[in-house]
Amino acid sequence: MAAEKYLNRGDTLETLVSVVIPAYNCEKYIKETLYSVINQSYKNIEVLVIDDGSKDNTGEAVKELMREDNRIRYLHKDNEGVSKARNMGIIEAKGQYIAFLDSDDLWNKEKLRLQMDRITETDADACYCGYTNWYEDSGLKVNSPIKYSEGNIIFKYLKIETWPQTSTWLIKKDLLMRHSLQFTPGCSWGEDFEFFAKVISLGKVAAASGFLTLYRIRNTGALSNFSLNYLKELDVWKRLMLWLKENEQAIGVNTGRIIKQIEHYRIPKTVIEVLWIASSDEELREQCRQYYSLEGTKRCIKSYRLVKPSSNDLRTLIKGSLLWFKLR
């Protein structure tokens, strides 16, 4: 049965939801991920798998499932990164709402149903849910702490009190199209939270309570590959501040206050935490010393300001004060 013909709740036609799944060399996971989507209790969906130039059998695995369920669409493109793959999905989506799902993550079967119900109840532009971290190597599953905030949540987002993961989101397509929102092409770090920060700044947000997404965490490798990459986050925040200034009239809250929180909280917090972690690695310590010695770095760390400080924020403040001793 074609997606647009799915009926539920009597004779009421459900709103079509497009599920965008960027895929690259994920033949090991893609079938399990797709089954978690096509088995949703919310039936009126289309599933767009955007193959970003996979070199394995990802395409064959998707096409095999397409023979079972014609709601799945497979689109192949040259390898240009996850941002361009998701952007292609946004453009190709036929649904009124778009949900994003990474190719190795899984959904609870009630995820879309609960989110669509919550959007109907609140007239929201977007809805997120809680998620569970699934550590693949050990099999350990841990619910990620989250405050289910609703309405204008940008300040809670910046404080990491409400920090939904990519695969938890469901967003009205019209919001994305009206404001030309896309993932930043070529961005290899933080392209997701940059995009969702823009969504949150522009729209009313709802929350579906419950840990409805399983976020698979694979072996991240060496400390150097993990921690130093976080410094790329600074470029994301700088780009976001520029976007906020350019779109001030469309944003319903004080953009100056948002920018101030980024400048005096998120950016220095990132610098402190990255240097603290990386300096624990003997091979990275000299690079950390050089970075810390820059006047701009020192000014950034000193600019750290706490807004309703949590215990985590206080720990960051202490780390910032102790970095000089640690990097001597």
What pLDDT digit, counting tens, does each position of 135-175 carry?
Answer: 998 999 999 999 999 999 999 999 999 999 999 999 999 99
Query: Given this model, what pLDDT does residue 148 score?
Result: 97
Residue 134, both tokens:
């699934």
Query: Given this model, what pLDDT does residue 190 score?
Result: 85
Range of the structural domain that residue 309 is part of: 223-326
Q: Do 174 and 147 share a structural domain?
A: yes
| Tally of structural domains, the chain | 2
Q: Do 212 and 290 share a structural domain?
A: no
Of 194, 217, 240, the residue at which a domain comes to its end is: 217
CA 46 to chain centre: 21
Determine the 3-state secondary structure of 35 from DSSP: helix
* Prediction pTM value: 0.92
Rounded to whole angstroms, what are the CA distances from 45 to 37, 87, 88, 128, 213? 9, 18, 17, 17, 17
**In contact, 97 and 26? CB cutoff 8 Å:** no
Q: Do 229 and 197 share a structural domain?
A: no
Q: Do 139 and 14 share a structural domain?
A: yes
Closest CA to 159 of 119, 133, 205, 193: 193
Q: Do 208 and 107 share a structural domain?
A: yes
Q: Do 272 and 186 share a structural domain?
A: no
Q: Do 308 and 232 share a structural domain?
A: yes
Kindly report the CATH number assigned to the domain that includes residue 176.
3.90.550.10
Query: Given this model, what pLDDT does residue 265 score?
Result: 96
Q: Do 207 and 286 share a structural domain?
A: no
Q: Do 254 and 181 share a structural domain?
A: no
Of 169, 192, 217, the residue at which a domain comes to its end is: 217
- Cβ neighbour number for residue 113 with a 10 Å cutoff: 18
Q: Do 227 and 139 share a structural domain?
A: no
Q: Do 213 and 265 share a structural domain?
A: no
Query: Given this model, what pLDDT does residue 228 score?
Result: 65
Q: Do 187 and 252 share a structural domain?
A: no
Of 167, 200, 217, the residue at which a domain comes to its end is: 217
From first to last of its 328 residues, the chain has per-residue pLDDT tens of 344 434 444 334 689 999 999 999 999 999 999 999 999 999 999 999 999 999 999 999 999 999 999 999 999 999 999 999 999 999 999 999 999 999 999 999 999 999 999 999 999 999 999 999 999 989 999 999 999 999 999 999 999 999 999 999 999 999 999 999 999 998 877 889 999 999 999 999 999 999 999 999 987 544 445 456 678 889 999 999 999 999 999 997 889 999 999 999 999 999 999 999 999 888 888 989 999 999 999 999 999 998 778 899 999 999 999 999 999 8
